[in-house]
Structure 1
Amino acid sequence: MLFWIIAAALVAVIALLFALALWRGREDDDMAPAASYDVQVYRDQLRDLDRDVERGVTSREEAERAKLEISRRMLEADRKAQAGSDLSMAPKAATIALVIGGAVIFGGAFWLYGRIGAEGYEDQPLAMRFQNADKLYDSRPSQEEAEKMAKARQLDQPQSDPKFAELMQRLRDAVAKNPNDPKGLELLARNEAAMGNFDAAWKAQQRLVALKGDQASADDYAQLGELMVVAAGGLITSEAEKTFASALQKDPKNGLSLYYVGLMMAQNARGDRAFRIWDGLLRNSENSDPWVPMIRQNINELAWLAGESDYTPPMPRGVGPSQADIAAAADMTPAERQQMIRGMVEQLNDRLAQEGGSADDWARLISSLRMIGEVDRADAVYGEAKGKFASRPEDLAKIDAAHKAPAGKALQDEGGAPAAPAQAAPMMPGPTAEQMKDAASMSPEDRQQMIQGMVDGLFDRLTTEGGTPAEWARVISSLATLGEVDRAKEAWGEAQQALADDPDALAQVQLAAQRAGVAE
């Protein structure tokens, strides 16, 4: 209420100032009648002078001098009368404008405050917000307290099937008789969760983790933490947090644990930290990972809280053709293969137009369009991408490198190398159609030997004779895929030396090296 009293007082003061300004304007308007009266007096004096001359009271010379002085005063009075007339008209228009403008300003201010204001909410500097977040973090309820609150809010659960309930009771009895059976504990935890008994589920999982000891995996800890979170009604307690920390000690890249740690940061008013964690997780997740939809649904809001006003969520890995798709392409005719590749490019184009994407995605689309010969479309996409990433020099370098990729005349020449799928970045030459058909008919061992031979040959040629940026990128990606990380790092080092004088080409190779995990 105090706020509204202060606001009303301020409005009244400002309105009073406006009224005083208008009142002063009206006082100035009083000059107009006085000046008009003076003009009339001076006219009467001129007529009196003429009469005095006729009666001989005043000489003609004195009358002329008096007329000059009276005329001068009459002109000055007339000027004031005209000025007063102008002033008398101006405040009327000004008054209307001020009344309308004041109503709009004050009405708009109160409307806006009613929409987004918070009455009685004190100012919160950044340091105070961090302090409040720490208090919120420290005051979290325990696992037991959180479960009690969750049960109080929980609706009545539907009755389970009597046969399933009987089987569950048998399972519980069997585990009670043999508490050190890991298989029994695993089944018990899974089925208790299926029945909605999450408290019993996480306790069974906890006994399983304790039974495994040092052999317990990061996934075992992550599943335990998830069951604890569900039992607590979605709240991540300090006990669950310690469980996820144990999982991340065993595997710092455990996706489920990273997701819940990020969620914990968001729950405790640290959306900036949650964004950093989820952004990194999204970049390293497969599209099929269960946490990906939830992250993509909320990460834009977290990005805004973290100060990333123009953030575009990256696409998870695994978006693109599968190995089965690539193998099937070997049996296609050139026309069918062209249609498949064009479809991939169009899918990527549609996704970027509707959902946006990272700089890598835009670079893939640009290089893909150039590779299939659609240079005009590539140029148009390049112009749009430059506008999106103008404030990010590193991302803009990727876009520029893709725009400088060689342009093809068509998707492929008859019998030539097919254009790389839109999922690959940067676009690199691949095996010929004949090589793909031969590889499809080989045994796995022979196919592996053939691929290894091609990669070794390319590696030897590049390290001795050099080659194009696409070839360097191809050999680095291939070696990393084959598990030869040290040789991939060696190839990246050789590429840095060979392409040191060409920053654009080096950026293209660096992108492939980063994707292969051999460059920062």
Structure 2
Amino acid sequence: MIFWTVTALIAFAAALLLAMIIIRAREQGEPAAAYDLRVYRQQLREVDKDLARGVIAEADADRIRTEISRRILAADAQLQKRKSGPSQPRALSLGFAIATALLITGGTLGLYWQLGAPGYADLGLQDRIRLAGERAENRPSQIEAEADVPAIQRPEVEEGYLKLVEQLRKTAGEREDDARGQALLAQHEANLGNFKAAYQAKTNYIRLAEGKVNARDFTELAELKIMAAGGYVSPEAQTDLQKARAIDPSHGPARYYWGLMLGQIGRPDLAYREWAATLRDGPADALWVKGIQGQIEEMAFRAGVEYRPITPGGTAPALPGPSAEDMAGASELSPEEQQEMIRGMVTRLSDRLATEGGSAEEWARLIGALSVLGETERARTVYDEARGAFEADAEALALLDTIAAQAGLAE
């Protein structure tokens, strides 16, 4: 109520000031009659000077004085009439002033009601971070999000293709242990816009692949869930993205959707940071780079960052993670060996941070990786240690708190 009172008073004061100016109708210029008076009086003085020098005769001087005096009287009459009479109708001025006051006051309050957030209190940085963490924990699930998505328009395809997909569904249903069949079914269901059926088939493929999956598989699974939810990154899709990032921290599509998720939970600052780093890593012709380029300026605006175009494929150093050769080798390992490989990389990162230190992003990555591996207590210990290392850095603490909230470590 205080806000509305103060806003109304400010708007009314501005409107009242403008109305007073309209009613009084002050003129900035000088009437022409005032200038004429000064000229005529100067002419009278010149006549006396000319008479004293003998330039004109006394009779001529009297005649000239009479004429000038007549003009002075006429100019003075015009000046007095200008001062005493209104320059514009008072009723019209009063009506226009009232209308202007109502327009300014009512328009100000109306615009705020439509564009502002009535009743929304001012929030400090720590409160916004806390709310973002709560939003991340309490946001709708995949099922809830799908229930709110309106029916999408299916793409038009040939009848023959529909029959082939129907046959594929039947075959995949009869061969539930055929990973290849599930992968094909996921692809073709997505082509038809059946994203829920597509991610269910992709889930079956990952289960049947016996651990021989990579970051791309988990990112595709997350992407299908996001498309089924109308562009919303659900907690289930976030878990898939965490698995993809744990396997390959540099995987571009996973980084794109991770930034999208951060923006949705109210952390555009972290989303912009993630997208900016992804753009610098490139490559310029990648689809996820095009997606980021179309949205990063708005994300920067939401984050309060002055956006400067970023050239994809720059030389910014990437955070430590498994190389392409490591990932190629991981796809050939058994599930137990692949899990051991991931644990080894996590352990090496943990040891390096403990002995040499590192950036807040590296600590956050370690916390996320440990939570994905199910080592919650160890992740909590690392989180506490990282907070101690960056206690003087507000941005680093914000990043760590958000990652901890997403990993379920926040108190």
Cα deviation, residue 15, structure 1: 9.1
The CA distance in 1 between the partners of 2:197 and 2:16, in whole Å, is 71
The CA distance in 2 between the partners of 1:183 and 1:14, in whole Å, is 72
**CA separation of 1:119/1:210 partners in 2, compared to 1, >3 Å: closer, same or farther?**
closer
Q: Which residue does the alignment assign to 1:164?
A: 161
Q: Which residue does the alignment assign to 1:294?
A: 291
Q: Which residue does the alignment assign to 1:123?
A: 121
Cα deviation, residue 291, structure 1: 1.5
Answer 1 or 2: higher relative contact order, Cα 8 Å, separation at least 6: 2
Query: What do the CA deviations read for 1:234-257 (whole angstroms, capped 9, x no partner)?
Result: 111111100011111110111111
The CA distance in 1 between the partners of 2:15 and 2:163, in whole Å, is 79
Q: Any gaps of 5 or more consecutive residues in structure 2?
A: 20-82, 84-93, 316-411
Amino acid aligned to 2:219: A
Kept in 1: contact 2:16–2:101 (CA 8 A):
no
Structure 1 position 207 matched with structure 2 position 199? no
The CA distance in 2 between the partners of 1:220 and 1:18, in whole Å, is 66
Structure 1 position 313 matched with structure 2 position 309? yes
Q: Which residue does the alignment assign to 2:258?
A: 261
Q: Which residue does the alignment assign to 1:514?
A: none
Structure 1 position 217 matched with structure 2 position 214? yes
Greater shift, 256-265 or 118-127, is seen at 118-127
Q: Normalized against structure 2, the TM-score is what? A: 0.51
Q: Of 213, 225, 247, which residue of structure 1 is paired with 2:244? A: 247
Kept in 2: contact 1:299–1:313 (CA 8 A):
no
Q: Of 165, 173, 176, which residue of structure 2 is paired with 1:179? A: 176
Q: Which residue does the alignment assign to 1:189?
A: 186
The CA distance in 1 between the partners of 2:171 and 2:252, in whole Å, is 33
**CA separation of 1:104/1:202 partners in 2, compared to 1, >3 Å: closer, same or farther?**
same
**CA separation of 1:10/1:213 partners in 2, compared to 1, >3 Å: closer, same or farther?**
same
Query: What do the CA deviations read for 1:80-102 (whole angstroms, capped 9, x no partner)?
Result: xxxxxxxxx9xxxxxxxxx9999
Structure 1 position 146 matched with structure 2 position 142? no
Query: RMSD of aligned C-alpha atoms?
Result: 3.9
The CA distance in 2 between the partners of 1:250 and 1:177, in whole Å, is 32
The CA distance in 1 between the partners of 2:172 and 2:311, in whole Å, is 44
Amino acid aligned to 1:312: R
Amino acid aligned to 2:256: Y
Cα deviation, residue 161, structure 1: 3.2
Cα deviation, residue 308, structure 1: 2.2
Cα deviation, residue 13, structure 1: 7.9
Kept in 2: contact 1:188–1:201 (CA 8 A):
yes
Cα deviation, residue 119, structure 1: 5.8
Kept in 2: contact 1:3–1:119 (CA 8 A):
no
Cα deviation, residue 176, structure 1: 2.2
**CA separation of 1:196/1:16 partners in 2, compared to 1, >3 Å: closer, same or farther?**
closer
Cα deviation, residue 261, structure 1: 0.7
The CA distance in 2 between the partners of 1:119 and 1:250, in whole Å, is 42
The CA distance in 1 between the partners of 2:185 and 2:253, in whole Å, is 21
Q: Which residue does the alignment assign to 2:377?
A: none
Amino acid aligned to 2:252: G
Query: What do the CA deviations read for 1:455-474 (whole angstroms, capped 9, x no partner)?
Result: xxxxxxxxxxxxxxxxxxxx
Kept in 2: contact 1:279–1:313 (CA 8 A):
no
Q: Normalized against structure 1, the TM-score is what? A: 0.41
**CA separation of 1:113/1:302 partners in 2, compared to 1, >3 Å: closer, same or farther?**
farther
Cα deviation, residue 214, structure 1: 2.4
Cα deviation, residue 105, structure 1: 10
The CA distance in 1 between the partners of 2:119 and 2:204, in whole Å, is 47
Cα deviation, residue 12, structure 1: 6.4
Name the SS for the 1:213 alignment partner.
Answer: coil
Q: Which residue does the alignment assign to 2:45?
A: none
The CA distance in 1 between the partners of 2:308 and 2:12, in whole Å, is 47
Structure 1 position 273 matched with structure 2 position 267? no
Amino acid aligned to 2:279: L
Q: Which residue does the alignment assign to 1:135?
A: 134
**CA separation of 1:239/1:104 partners in 2, compared to 1, >3 Å: closer, same or farther?**
same
Kept in 1: contact 2:12–2:105 (CA 8 A):
no
The CA distance in 2 between the partners of 1:237 and 1:136, in whole Å, is 11
Name the SS for the 2:294 alignment partner.
Answer: helix
Percent sequence identity over matched residues? 32
The CA distance in 1 between the partners of 2:161 and 2:5, in whole Å, is 66
Query: What do the CA deviations read for 1:265-314 (whole angstroms, capped 9, x no partner)?
Result: 111111111101000011112122112222112212222333322x3121
The CA distance in 2 between the partners of 1:296 and 1:105, in whole Å, is 45
The CA distance in 1 between the partners of 2:154 and 2:15, in whole Å, is 62
Name the SS for the 2:308 alignment partner.
Answer: coil
Amino acid aligned to 2:147: K
Amino acid aligned to 1:281: T
Matches within 5 A, 1:15-34: none
Query: What do the CA deviations read for 1:359-385 (whole angstroms, capped 9, x no partner)?
Result: x8xxxxxxxxxxxxxxxxxxxxxxxxx
Matches within 5 A, 1:71-90: none
Structure 1 position 232 matched with structure 2 position 195? no
**CA separation of 1:123/1:157 partners in 2, compared to 1, >3 Å: closer, same or farther?**
same
Q: Which residue does the alignment assign to 1:62?
A: none
**CA separation of 1:298/1:108 partners in 2, compared to 1, >3 Å: closer, same or farther?**
farther
